[in-house]
Every structure is written in structure tokens, then in C-alpha cells.
Amino acid sequence: MINRRNFLTTSGLLAGSALLSASSIGGRSARAAGESPRRVVIFIEGNGVRPECMRDPLTLQTLEGIAGKPIASNRDYGHDDPVLIPAAPLSEARALGALAAGQGEISLVERAALVLGLSSTNLGGGHSTNFGALSAARALGGPAAATIETVLGQIPGVRGDTPFDAVRVGIGSSSTPLNYATCAFDKGKPAPILMSPTAAFSTLFGSVSSGKSGDDFSSRRDLLEFAYADVTRELKNLSGSTRGRDKLETYEASVLGELARMEQIEGMKDALLAVKPAEPGLLDPDPYASTAPLDQYVLQTEIATAALLGGLTNVVVISMGSGSYYWSQQYPTLTNFYPGGQMIGGHDLRHAGGAEYYDVLHELTSRYITEMARMARVLEAQPEEGGTMLDNTLLLYMPDNGEKHHSNAEEWAMLMLGGDNMGFKTDGRSVTYPKSGHANNRQISNVFNSMLHGAGEPTDDFGHANADSRIAEGPLAEIWG
């Protein structure tokens, strides 16, 4: 059993939110002196990213030339080896316009890599693969394993001295503030995504917020100390229920983690004040009052960016409707893109609406990537060891099920930005792997292997609860090395 004494003295880094098992708290040490930071930010779009809005004209033309026919889906690919186009005009793709240099902005085309043709049919496809997308292991009735951001957050060279091993925020169709359908601490242990920008702000910047929420934050220590004493007593008194004991131990670990984190965050006050994003309730109009998904997404991205800048975390997941039915949203700020200007239900938009609504979806992906690019530019503007924060941060954009609403999980279009110092070949290239079913097809697990190599924890066999479903081990030489 964990107790506060050994918790605080052995964890070294103070606890983060993945502390649910004893194995995750021992032996952690900070990144070696002089080593560049390593960060990962994953943007995960629910219910599919349509590859046609990600392909630039040159990549498409090349693929069609090889196939000898138009490319409607990955099934039309005709190549037998990965097709690498070194300087693809990525910003000319329907959803990648934000990569182009804007007024006073740098171009990100040369800091990007487009990855096409990856499959993961082992995950099942459909509306969403839920935990499968980030664990590369099929989720049947719950997560089969820890998801990639959890694993990354436990790597000392990634975690560094940050108080949060990973930050998970997002948007989605939900009446509750937590999405338990995409991330996981471990097998059978879903990790929540904070769906409310207000909640995300409070969790990350409550210590430096003004007014009552700031006062409440400071009084939490008393409450947590009381709770710790109480749960310790309860654990002594409880017998006869393994389930009950598990729950109490979960609570005990949560309390201890929160206490430790508070201690660390209180020492970061100046750094957090310097990067604190807009605070709920202080602006007029208050951006936090908007219920429009894209407005909430902008806030969540800003909060996540501030968390990276402030050193609160080095691992972020931003969910755009990933998991379950969280993708079934309406987008009032995209009304002009709906045929006839009439907004329809989120499910009909993606399903019953058909092809005439695809442009709404393409615009949606474009808007999502615009914020990803904004984060990248902010990071690029921050010099640090090894270059800039962008050099030390990989930003990955990916779907949670593959290529469309009812996906076959045959093509997972991805965009990468930055992460050069971690070995990622984000130099303006596009890489397209042979189609699903081909011997040289590769899977999203290979991307995660690449990330783990880049993060300093070389791993060749991430994911795949059923090893027979793996096509090949190792990282992807075309995007990492």
C-alpha cells in the first residue's frame, strides 16, 4: 500500500495523474541535465479524418499516376513500397491551408510531414475505435492497455519535472464534463478527458486564478490532509471486499497525488502567471460562455498551449469528439458550409447527409488543424535548449477510427509538426504506405513505436493485444530516424 511518507520520498517527481498502480510511482527520475525536453501533443479527431482533405495535389497526382486511375480511397492505391515525396505542397491540401505562411507568420510546410496509407484494421473501425486508437489494441468493453500518452508521460525524459504526466482536454457531444472513451491509464482503467474549458482552466491554472477559485485552491490542502487521514483509517477498517479496497486505494492515491501536485504547482506561481490564458468570467464577452464546439476547441488548445509553456506537462491529448458518440456535434460557426445553410444533427451530418456534406467535414478538419498550427507557431517562437520548443515537441494529428464515419480502419491520415530533435522527419515530406492488405502496409502502432523511440524509450511492439494482427514491428524509417 502506498503511504504518504514513501510516496513523497520515492516518487522523486511528485505524483501525476497516472498514479494508479504502485509500479508507476517508483524509481522515476528527472531528465538528465543538458538533455533537450521531449514533448508530444496528440490531436485526435473523432469519427474519421477523410484522407481526400489531407492529400496535397502533388501527392495525389503521384499516387494516381502509379495506380493508373483516380484515387477514391486507399483501395485504389497501386504502389508496392512507401511513396515519399520530399517537398510536397502540403498547404494546398483542403484541410492544410493553415500550414502556409500568413501575415507575420512563418510557414509550417517545411516543419510538417503528411502520413497516408497507415491502417489499423485490428481495431475494428466503425464510428470510433475508442481506446483502440491511442492504444493500438482493440477495445472490447473497455481499454485493453494503457494509451500512448500515458506511456509517454511515464518516461522520465518526457515527464521531466512537470506536475502533470499528461493533460487530456477536448470537446464533444456530451452533457457531462468528462469523456471516458479514448484515453486509459491501464487495461480496464479509462482516463478522463476534460470536456469543459472552464474545468480545464481550473485544473491547470486554478492556483493562479483570481477571486474565489484562487482562495478555494489554497484551502484544498486542509481538505486533502483530512481526506488522507480518513481514507487511511477506512482502509484499516475495511475487510472482505477486494473491490471496495481497490476503490479506497484509488482514492488514497488520488489524494496523495493531488497533495504532491499542489506542492509543486505552488512553487511554479510566477511561471504560471506569465502564461496564464484568459480566465473564465473575466472577459466581456466571456469566451467560456460559448457552447459552439469550435469556440470551445480554441479555448482548449489555448489552455493546453499555456500548460506546455508553463511547464505543467509535456504530454497533451486534445480530443475533438473522439470516442463513443462524442463526435455527434453540430457546428453553428460552420453554418455557411452546410448545404442550403441549414445545420443538421451531428449524426446526419456525417452519415445520412452524404457527400453533399463532406465539405463541412473538410472545413471542420481544416479548422482543427488551424489551431494545431497556431500552437506550433507559439512553440516555435519560444527558444529553449536545442532550438525552439517546437523542435522539442512533436504535434500529431490523427483520427480515432480511420478514414470515414463508418470506417474500415484502412487508412489513418496523419499530420506531424515539429519534433525534429526527437528524430522526426518533419521537413515538408509526404509519405504514403501501400494499401491495407498489402505486405508493405504499415499500421498506426508503428507511429507509436516511432514516438516511443523519439521519446527515449525504444519500443518496437507497442499495442496489438493479439500479436497476429501486427504487420511489422519497429518505427517507421520514412518519418523517424
What residue type is 176 in one-letter code?
T
Q: Does residue 223 belong to the site contacting another protein (CB under 8 A)?
A: yes
Letter for the amino acid at 233?
A: R
Site pattern 124..153 for another protein (x: CB under 8 A) = xxxxx-x------xx-xxx-x---------
CB of 299 to another protein, least distance (A): 17
Nearest CA among 320, 460, 472, 475 for reference residue 397: 320
Q: Does 280 bind another protein (CB under 8 A)?
A: no
* Contacting another protein within 65-94 (CB under 8 A): 73, 75
Residue 300, all three cell numbers: 482548449
Candidates 21, 107, 254, 264; binder of another protein (CB under 8 A) is: 254
Beta carbon of residue 124, minimum distance to another protein (angstroms, whole number) = 6
Query: Site residues for another protein, window 231-250 (CB under 8 A)?
Result: 231, 233-234, 238-244, 246-248, 250
Q: Does 213 bind another protein (CB under 8 A)?
A: yes
Q: Which of 476, 214, 172 is nearest to 328 (CA)?
A: 172
Positions in 397-416 near another protein (CB under 8 A): 405-406, 408-409
Which listed range, 23-31, 34-42, 349-357, 373-381, lies at the site for another protein (CB under 8 A)?
349-357
* Count of positions on this chain that bind another protein (CB under 8 A): 109
- Tell whether the torsion through CA atoms of 195, 200, 201 and 206 is positive or negative: positive
Residue placing its CB nearer to another protein in the complex, 87 or 289: 289
Contact segment (CB under 8 A) with another protein among 218-226, 311-319, 413-421, 453-461 equals: 218-226
188 binds another protein (CB under 8 A): yes
Query: Which of 430, 321, 328 shows the shortest CA–CA distance to 368?
Result: 321
Indicate whether 3 belongs to the interface with another protein (CB under 8 A).
Answer: no
Residue 434 cell numbers, joined: 501501400
* 337 is an interface residue for another protein by CB under 8 A: no
- 192 lies in the site for another protein, by CB under 8 A: yes
Q: In sequence order, which ranges of 276-421 are alpha helices (DSSP H)?
A: 293-309, 346-350, 358-380
Alpha-carbon gap, residue 334 to 331, rounded angstroms: 5
State which of positions 40-69 bind another protein (CB under 8 A): none
Using a 10 angstrom Cβ sphere, with 0-12 exposed, 13-18 middle and 19 or more buried, the burial of residue 26 is exposed
CA distance 403 to 92: 20
Supply the minimum distance, in Å, between the C-beta of residue 50 and another protein.
14
- Cβ atoms within 10 A of the Cβ of 141, count? 7
168 binds another protein (CB under 8 A): yes
Interactions with another protein, residue window 429-458 (CB under 8 A): 435-442
For position 24 contacting another protein by CB under 8 A, the verdict is no
Residue linked to cell 510538417: 112
Q: Cα separation of 112 and 66, whole Å?
A: 24
